Amino acid sequence: MDDATLTISSKNYSSWSLRGWLMTKFSGLPFSEKVIPPDDPAMRAELLLLSSSFLVPCLNHNGVSVWDTLAIGEYLNEIRPEAALLPKDLKKRTRCRSICGEMHSGFGPMRSALPMNLKGDFPKFKVWARAQADIDHITSIWRSCLDDYGGPFLLGERSMADAMYAPVVTRFRTYHVELDRVCSAYCDRIMGMPEMIEWIGAARLEPEDMEELEVEF
Ligand SMILES: N[C@@H](CCC(=O)N[C@@H](CS)C(=O)NCC(=O)O)C(=O)O
């Protein structure tokens, strides 16, 4: 019997929470959510007991604690291999890990200039040159993956990589980033996933906008 809890933060702002939550959904592991409001000191003290990095997401499963989004994805892939969060084929799996790693450690200018904000809508947003360079690199990753594996997802079948890039998709929508047909269709596909619809619906119900979080979070 599985006992799994995923600790997350704001659904509107927390891009890492979204990634971890999508991975857990994709894995098929039944789990409950523990939402820690980012500005609640008592809850934050509790978070330290759950996540030794003090960051979300954190997955606690049958006594095992996993923090850091990439580690969560790798763990879920081990306990639920049938969900193929990582592709079975070594070459594809390596590509998946490489592009997930790039997302995990890179694209700082894009992440800080275009923070995730699902309720936000900024049609005339001016993208800074360094953020644009990140956007260009991300879209070239998407195009080459979709071309090499034939879609509909980055590695063909849905994988951990789609969860890693999902908050980028929402940023492109929030800030009206211009995209070519292939990347735009990929964004539609991600936004149309039932899991994304569920998450965004919950984000819209979150009470107030937090001005201090209108930055990378
Ligand atoms: N490298 C971490 C990043 C996690 C992270 O930065 N989480 C943010 C929320 S999106 C957080 O917990 N921030 C807490 C805070 O800023 O106090 C991961 O992959 O999980």
Q: Can you give the pLDDT at residue 217?
A: 54
Q: Can you give the pLDDT at residue 97?
A: 98
Low-confidence ranges of the chain (pLDDT < 50): none
Clarify whether residues 60 and 22 are in a common domain.
Answer: yes
Atom index in ligand 1 nearest the CA of residue 56 equals 12
pLDDT in tens, 29-70: 999 999 988 777 777 667 767 777 778 999 999 999 999 999
How much distance in Å is there from the Cα of 89 to the middle of ligand 1? 30
Q: What is the CATH number of the domain that holds 26?
A: 3.40.30.10
Q: Can you give the pLDDT at residue 85?
A: 98
Clarify whether residues 10 and 53 are in a common domain.
Answer: yes
Q: Can you give the pLDDT at residue 53?
A: 75
Atom index in ligand 1 nearest the CA of residue 57 equals 20
Domain boundary pick from 56, 83, 110:
83
| 95-99, Cβ contacts within 8 angstroms, sequence gap of 24 or more | 95/145, 95/148, 95/155, 96/154, 96/155, 96/159, 96/160, 96/161, 99/141, 99/145, 99/154, 99/161, 99/164, 99/165
pLDDT in tens, 126-148: 999 999 999 999 999 999 999 99
- Residue 129 burial by CB count (10 A; 0-12/13-18/19+): exposed, middle or buried? exposed
Instruction: Give the mutation target among 55, 103, 210 for probing the ligand 1 site: most ligand atoms within 8 A of CB.
Output: 55
Clarify whether residues 32 and 111 are in a common domain.
Answer: no
State the chain's mean pLDDT as an integer. Answer: 93
Clarify whether residues 182 and 107 are in a common domain.
Answer: yes
Atom index in ligand 1 nearest the CA of residue 17 equals 10
* Tokens describing residue 33: 């959510």
Q: Can you give the pLDDT at residue 214?
A: 54
Q: What is the CATH number of the domain that holds 193?
A: 1.20.1050.10
Provide the domain count of the chain. Answer: 2
How much distance in Å is there from the Cα of 39 to the middle of ligand 1? 14
What residue numbers bound the domain in which 17 lies? 4-83
Residue 206 lies in a domain: no
Q: Can you give the pLDDT at residue 191?
A: 98
